[in-house]
Amino acid sequence: MDLTYTPEEEAFRAKVAAWIKENAPRRDQRSDVQAMREWQRTLYKAGYLGAGWPTEYGGANLTPMQQAIFNEEMARAGAPGAINSMAIWWVGPAIIRYGTEEQKKRFLAPILSAEEIWATGYSEPGSGSDMAAAKMKAVREGDFYVVNGQKVWTTIAHISDWFFCLVRTSTEGSKWAGLSLLLIDLKSPGVEVRPIRQITGDSEFNEVFLHDVKVPVQNLLGKEGQGWEIVSSALVNERSGIAGSLRVDQLLDKLFTSARKRDKVDDKLLRQKLATLAIYAQVLKSFSLRALSDALHQRFNPHMSAAMKLFSTELNQRFSETGVDMLGPYGVLWQGNQQTPDNGTWAYQYLYDRSATIAGGTSEVQRNIVAQRVLGLPRGS
């Protein structure tokens, strides 16, 4: 296997690295929503967004290798991704595949330009990661669906304009059969968004309540009863690659640097932990190269994302746990305190990483997917 880059690819890498250095927003701008909208517009105008989208809908004219190189350089520079990334990964491709021509003209361009930010509404109270158990009800009344119910753990709903929402339009047949997908304006009367305060002190997740919300029938994506198919196909889109393994390498280097600063390089237990993490980092890199190879050769591997999500999120938790353990009592000191080791970032990362094995499908769900659909193991009775 030839893992080297061509001269043209290396030239593209140099061009991208210089562009990111010149254009990436400052760290003090990254919590400002308008600044992040502008950053996404800058990415879009430069031709770096929507690489998997058809060019007629504004997609970037990048090869899979160029996209991988771009993602790698973004990770290397620590540059923020697009604020509307979930819409670019999931919503846009779903509209491209299942939407009417009117829906494509209406929604696709504002997604890439960050004119309209999207949240995705899957999880509900009491059903956890079992999306097929959704109870949010949508009843057809003439030219509208009237929607009632609640979603929870809805990422960035508090700054979003639109809702890619899984609803129940029928109770007939299996629980999967009665699900449909609606595109809902979050500014509609009857929509209430309540941010959830997380263990980190942030409020990235939200509860969303819909009370008699009227949604035009033309905002149904696909057909009634096709919601499960649409959501399942959207979640197959890969979110990992070489960039993910590079971020792990950066975390490993951060741990090595911290160990040297604290004179712990001779700690045998810590050395063993770091060696184990280094091995896992190589496994993740192999995972990433496999995903990249699949993309380059147009091989469809729908269950690779489940295995990569499971492995990478649990590995990130191992890294932050090791960072906190190595600092001892100092490991609980908070981010932003310049006098604490590593600027207190390990404490924040440790808490934030707790969510990674829940968001986007729990580790238990990913294990079931791998066991049943990759390994062919029987479902338990």
Q: What is the pLDDT of residue 240?
A: 44
Q: Are 242 and 362 members of one domain?
A: yes
Of residues 121, 127, 104, the one with CA closest to residue 193:
121
Instruction: Look at the chain and count its residues.
Output: 381
Token pair for residue 315?
A: 């590995």
DSSP state of 88: I
Domain membership flag for residue 263: yes
What is the tally of structural domains in the chain?
3
Q: What is the pLDDT of residue 243?
A: 58
Q: Are 298 and 358 members of one domain?
A: yes
Q: What is the pLDDT of residue 287?
A: 84
DSSP secondary structure letters along 83-95: TTHHIIIIIHHHH
Domain membership flag for residue 336: yes
Counting beta carbons within 10 angstroms of the beta carbon of residue 325, is it exposed (0 to 12), middle (13 to 18) or buried (19 or more)?
middle
Counting beta carbons within 10 angstroms of the beta carbon of residue 101, is it exposed (0 to 12), middle (13 to 18) or buried (19 or more)?
exposed
Domain membership flag for residue 350: yes
pTM score, two decimals?
0.89
Catalytic pick among 115, 238, 321, 364: 238
Per-residue pLDDT reduced to its tens digit, 128-167: 667 888 999 999 999 999 999 999 999 999 999 999 999 9
Residue range(s) defining the domain that contains residue 66: 7-83
Cα dist from 67 to 27, 48, 54, 106, whole Å: 24, 8, 14, 26
Domain final residue pick, 170, 201, 225 = 225
Cα of first residue to Cα of last residue in the chain, in angstroms, is 43
Cα dist from 276 to 22, 252, 321, 324, whole Å: 37, 11, 13, 17
Q: Are 215 and 242 members of one domain?
A: no
Q: Are 199 and 269 members of one domain?
A: no
Domain membership flag for residue 337: yes
Question: Is residue 141 annotated as a catalytic residue, yes or no?
Answer: no
Q: Which CATH number goes with the domain that contains 244?
A: 1.20.140.10
Domain membership flag for residue 232: no
Domain final residue pick, 83, 108, 143 = 83
pLDDT tens string, the chain, 381 residues long: the values are: 566 889 999 999 999 999 999 999 998 999 999 999 999 999 999 999 998 899 999 999 898 889 889 999 999 999 999 999 999 999 999 999 999 999 999 999 999 999 999 999 999 998 866 788 899 999 999 999 999 999 999 999 999 999 999 999 999 988 899 999 999 999 999 999 999 999 999 999 999 999 999 999 999 999 999 999 999 887 665 444 555 678 888 999 999 999 999 999 999 999 999 999 999 999 998 888 887 788 777 777 767 778 888 999 999 999 999 999 999 988 888 866 667 778 888 999 999 999 888 887 788 888 988 898 888 898 865
Q: What is the pLDDT of residue 22?
A: 97
Q: How many angstroms separate the CA atoms of 77 and 247, rounded?
A: 10
| Stretch (H or E) spanning 376 | none
Domain membership flag for residue 103: no
* Amino acid making up residue 33: V
Q: What is the pLDDT of residue 61?
A: 87
Token pair for residue 149?
A: 């119910």
**Which residues fall within 8 angstroms of residue 302, CB to CB, at 6 or more apart?**
236
Q: Are 250 and 210 members of one domain?
A: no
**Which residues fall within 8 angstroms of residue 91, CB to CB, at 6 or more apart?**
107, 111, 118, 120, 164, 234
Q: What is the pLDDT of residue 238?
A: 42
Q: What is the pLDDT of residue 239?
A: 44
Domain membership flag for residue 302: yes
Token pair for residue 231?
A: 């959501």
Counting beta carbons within 10 angstroms of the beta carbon of residue 213, is it exposed (0 to 12), middle (13 to 18) or buried (19 or more)?
buried
Q: Are 60 and 136 members of one domain?
A: no
